[in-house]
Structure 1
């Protein structure tokens, strides 16, 4: 029997409820889901790679399915090949996501056409959530509890306080 492995890559800075929705649903489609936590040179992370790894591991610990959290700093298709993946799982929120993902999928197919990409539409209630907006809202003192788990909210609030910003545990957006 062949084990179907999927890879769900991202920076997860921070992990949002939208990410968790895609993880839960993606885990049902494969026998083994690998959450690939990566660096992205075009992004300025709020959390270190180690902190993001710990955050994702903590949040997926109670989910159903065989879920592994692995860091990587390479081309996605090389990482997927090393993990034995047959699919890449990607979440879509809006048309702009589709355009970006469509181009990236085309490039990835040129690199390795043995690995398919599957897209999962984000739950309607979670579609507007983006990590970059969560960080911005928190930095300016807004309440991000609607967008992240309670533990991730505490992580974000603590980091914003550490940075000497206005972050708060709730109240005013």
Structure 2
């Protein structure tokens, strides 16, 4: 059986926490689609096209990433459209789990064939989130340890451009 899965998120920017989940999931699933949400409500620093490009760079070493796409729809609708029955979700804390359980139930209502598979974050990266990275960067803190090198430099460049405006 061919096991395909979708890993949705905002990835603004993609962190070592995201890569932990993607790498571990790539050892279980034959193909992974990374689906990057527009997420206008989160006010991303990178536009969708930039986030797709950075995610491609960060995951280029993984051979079973089927594709990296942008989307602006319910993730259950996307899964149906991509003919995928598995959704990958990362869980860092009990608060994440509470939210994810509710989301999984809603997704199951929308697309009954969809199963959510939860990956507990590895302890080394369990505290990393894109929001925390952006907050550290906003106050000129060192956010380099949380991002792959090329993503760090792209983020630094982007943040410098934003601060000049």
Structure 1 range deviating more: 81-90 or 11-20: 81-90
Partner of residue 47, structure 2: 48
Q: Secondary structure at the match of 1:29?
A: coil
Partner of residue 90, structure 1: 89
TM-fit CA distance, 1:55: 0.3
TM-fit CA distance, 1:100: 0.7
Partner of residue 3, structure 2: 4
Q: TM-score, normalised by structure 1?
A: 0.91
Instruction: Note the alpha carbon deviations across 1:71-122, whole angstroms, 9 max, x for none.
Output: 1111101101111112000000001100110111111111111010000011
State yes or no: 1:69 paired with 2:68: yes
Give the distance between the partners of 1:76 and 1:65, measured in 2 at CA: 21
TM-fit CA distance, 1:70: 1.1
Structure 1: segments with no counterpart, 5+ residues: 166-173
Give the distance between the partners of 1:42 and 1:72, measured in 2 at CA: 14
Give the distance between the partners of 1:152 and 1:96, measured in 2 at CA: 27
Judge conservation of contact 1:24–1:64 (CA < 8 Å) in 2.
no
Give the distance between the partners of 2:100 and 2:40, measured in 1 at CA: 18
State yes or no: 1:131 paired with 2:130: yes
Structure 2: segments with no counterpart, 5+ residues: none
Judge conservation of contact 1:3–1:31 (CA < 8 Å) in 2.
yes
Give the distance between the partners of 1:129 and 1:140, measured in 2 at CA: 17
TM-fit CA distance, 1:3: 2.0
Taking only aligned residues, the RMSD between alpha carbons, in angstroms, comes to: 1.2
Q: TM-score, normalised by structure 2?
A: 0.95
Give the distance between the partners of 2:140 and 2:160, measured in 1 at CA: 10
Partner of residue 121, structure 1: 120
